[in-house]
Amino acid sequence: MKKIILLLVFLATTISATAQQFYIEGGKTLSSINYKNSKGIGLNNLQTTTHSYMGMGYRDQLFQTDLNFSVGLNYSGYGAIGSDDILGNFMEWEANYVGLNVAVDYQILKSRKTEFYLKGGLSSAFFVQGTQTLNDNVMNLDNNSDFDSLLITLQAGAGFSYPISRELSFYVQYMYGQSLDIASGDAKLKFISDNVGFGLLIDI
């Protein structure tokens, strides 16, 4: 966590004083869980589930006009659903996190007014609320060491933006994300996500 804070301070001191923007976005997350127990055996027949996410923050130029840095807050949902063909169990997970997101995007192409870019980011999030369902039993994930912990997610993707006016732009982007292992003990638990988002960039 200290390294992330130092990185934010360093980047904040290197951004330019021009082209400052405020962004707000929302979209859908298609998420799944990659889980293996202490013996390396995973859960089969897990399916993806759809969740919502939202975020807002600050964006500015970094070093040059085609490279931008952004930092903001985000609220994201993750989970999965599945069944056990042998025992006939039904399983479902729902987990929500609030976190700090940092990202860098680079413009690769501009066609008339439309700008296309590549983007990479890092999110550090804290567990807010979640449930685990096993057949007819619903359990709260609060204080569950496998979920109620710091969630670090690496993201990469692409998008495009289009100006609506001199001070307002609309953008659409896709981001693939994979978290670091958050499980306790010898088990391994990761979230895999596909995010499709829509947002606004407001010059400030």
- Residue ranges of domains in the chain: 2-203
Beta bridge pairs of residue 52: 28
pLDDT over 60 (residue 7):
no
Is residue 136 classed exposed, middle or buried when 0-12, 13-18 and 19+ CB atoms within 10 A define those classes? exposed
Q: Using 50, 70 and 90 to split pLDDT, how confident is the model at 1?
A: low
pLDDT over 80 (residue 87):
no
What is residue 60's predicted lDDT score, i.e. its pLDDT? 95
pLDDT over 70 (residue 190):
yes
pLDDT over 70 (residue 2):
no
Q: Which of 90-104, 109-123, 141-155, 159-173 has the lowest average pLDDT?
A: 141-155
Residue 188 contacts by C-beta under 8 Å, 6 or more apart in sequence?
A: 34, 35, 36, 181
Q: Using 50, 70 and 90 to split pLDDT, how confident is the model at 3?
A: low
- How do residues 14-35 score in pLDDT, each as one tens digit? 444 457 999 999 999 999 998 8
Please state the pTM of the whole predicted model.
Answer: 0.84
- Third-level CATH fold of 2-203: Porin (2.40.160)
What is residue 15's predicted lDDT score, i.e. its pLDDT? 44
Which whole number is the average pLDDT over 101-109? 95
- How do residues 116-159 score in pLDDT, each as one tens digit? 999 999 999 999 999 999 888 999 998 888 888 899 999 999 99
d(CA 175, CA 63): 24
Per the CB < 8 A criterion, the answer to whether 200 and 159 are in contact is: no
Residue 125 contacts by C-beta under 8 Å, 6 or more apart in sequence?
A: 74, 76, 97, 98, 99, 100, 150, 151, 152, 153
Nearest Cα to Cα of residue 53 among 23, 82, 30, 80: 30
d(CA 135, CA 119): 40
Nearest Cα to Cα of residue 69 among 97, 98, 99, 101: 101
Per the CB < 8 A criterion, the answer to whether 114 and 161 are in contact is: yes
Which whole number is the average pLDDT over 37-48? 79
